C-alpha cells in the first residue's frame, strides 16, 4: 500500500507494566520486531516516538518546572527512547540512524537535516526523528505530521496506547462512544476529537497523507495495517 511511512509511537508502550522501569526490554524488543516486519517489505520507514514513559507535562506542573524547560525535558526523553529503539533494531539486523531536532550528541545522534534524512531513507535505513520540532510548545503529534509532510510520506501509522482507533469520545470513560472506521480531517476538527493534537490535524488536513490510528497492544498490528487489513481507523483528506 505504501512506499514510505512515518510511524508515530507512544512512549508509554515501552514502559514496564508495573511502572518500575521506564523501558521494558520485552516491549522494546516486540516493537523492534514489528518495525523489522515492515522493513522486510521494502518500505522506507521514519519513526517518531513520544516520551510518556519518561516525562509528562502534569509532573512538570506538580514539581513547579516552568513550561519551556518542561518541554525541552520531554524532547530529550524522545531522544532517549529513539536511541533505545534504534539499538534494539540493530539486534534484528536493521540499520538505523537517529536524527534530532536538538543539536547532535556526538556519536549518538545527528542533527536533523531534511536532505540527509531523505538520503538515509533511500539508503534503506530506518530514520528516527527525535527531539520534537526542536522548539517548545509543539507536541510530538505536530512534529510527526510536519516531518511526514517534509519527507513526502504516504501515510502516518499512529500506534496508540490504550485505544484502538478514533472514537467520538474517550471509550474508557464513555461506554456509548462511537467508533469511526473512516473519518476526514475536517470532521476531526469540527468534532474537536482528541486522538491527536488538533494543530497537527490543521497541518495535514489538505494533504494526500493518510493517518492510520490503531492499538500498539499487539505489535502484529503494524504489519496488518501495512498489508491492508481492516485495523483501527483511517483518517484522510475530505473529498
| Proportion of the chain above pLDDT 90, given as a percent | 75
Question: What 3-state DSSP class applies to 211?
Answer: strand
Q: Could you read off the pLDDT of 107-163 as tens digits, one per residue?
A: 899 999 999 999 999 999 999 999 999 999 999 999 999 999 999 999 999 988 888
Average pLDDT over residues 89-94: 94
Question: What 3-state DSSP class applies to 114?
Answer: helix
Q: Which CATH architecture has domain 4-236?
A: 3-Layer(aba) Sandwich (3.40)
Burial class (CB in 10 A: 0-12, 13-18, 19+), 204: buried
Say if residue 44's pLDDT is above 70.
Answer: yes
Higher-confidence residue: 156 or 1? 156
Say if residue 84's pLDDT is above 90.
Answer: yes
The pLDDT assigned to 19 comes to 66
Question: Cβ–Cβ contacts within 10 Å for residue 46, how many?
Answer: 25
The pLDDT assigned to 174 comes to 92
CA atoms of 5 and 151, how far apart (whole Å): 9
Question: Cβ–Cβ contacts within 10 Å for residue 3, how many?
Answer: 11
Question: What 3-state DSSP class applies to 196?
Answer: coil
Q: What is the mean pLDDT of the chain?
A: 93
Q: Could you read off the pLDDT of 164-179 as tens digits, one per residue?
A: 999 999 998 999 999 9
The pLDDT assigned to 146 comes to 97
pTM for the whole structure:
0.93
The pLDDT assigned to 33 comes to 93
The pLDDT assigned to 125 comes to 98
Q: Which secondary structure element, helix H or strand E, spans residue 35, and what is its range?
A: helix 25-39
Question: Cβ–Cβ contacts within 10 Å for residue 41, how many?
Answer: 12
The pLDDT assigned to 82 comes to 97
Average pLDDT over residues 189-201: 93
Assign 3-state DSSP to the chain and report helix, strand, coil percentages, each to 5: 40, 20, 40
| Proportion of the chain above pLDDT 70, given as a percent | 100
Question: What 3-state DSSP class applies to 166?
Answer: strand
Amino acid at each position: 500500500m505504501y512506499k514510505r511511512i512515518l510511524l508515530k509511537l507512544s512512549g508509554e508502550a515501552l514502559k514496564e507494566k508495573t511502572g518500575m522501569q521506564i523501558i521494558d526490554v520485552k516491549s522494546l524488543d516486540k516493537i523492534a520486531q514489528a518495525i523489522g516486519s515492515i522493513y522486510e517489505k521494502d518500505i522506507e520507514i521514519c519513526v517518531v516516538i513520544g516520551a510518556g514513559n519518561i516525562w509528562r507535562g502534569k509532573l512538570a506542573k506538580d514539581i513547579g518546572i516552568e513550561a519551556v524547560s518542561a518541554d525541552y525535558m520531554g524532547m530529550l526523553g524522545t531522544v532517549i527512547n529513539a536511541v533505545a529503539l534504534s539499538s534494539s533494531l540493530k539486534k534484528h539486523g536493521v540499520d538505523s540512524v537517529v536524527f534530532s531536532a536538538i543539536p547532535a550528541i556526538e556519536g549518538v545522534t545527528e542533527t536533523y537535516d531534511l536532505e540527509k534524512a531523505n538520503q538515509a531513507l533511500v539508503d534503506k535505513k530506518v530514520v528516527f526523528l527525535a527531539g520534537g520540532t526542536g522548539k517548545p510548545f509543539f507536541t510530538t503529534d505536530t512534529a510527526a505530521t510536519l516531518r511526514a509532510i517534509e519527507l513526502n510520506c504516504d501515510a502516518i501509522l499512529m500506534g496508540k496506547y490504550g485505544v484502538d482507533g478514533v472514537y467520538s469520545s474517550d471509550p474508557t470513560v464513555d461506554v456509548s462512544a462511537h467508533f469511526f472506521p473512516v473519518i476526514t480531517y475536517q470532521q476531526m476538527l469540527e468534532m474537536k476529537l482528541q486522538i491527536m493534537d488538533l494543530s497537527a490535524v490543521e497541518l495535514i488536513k489538505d494533504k494526500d497523507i493518510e493517518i492510520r490510528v490503531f492499538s500498539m497492544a499487539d505489535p502484529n498490528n503494524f504489519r496488518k495495517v501495512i498489508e491492508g487489513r481492516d485495523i483501527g481507523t483511517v483518517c484522510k483528506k475530505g473529498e
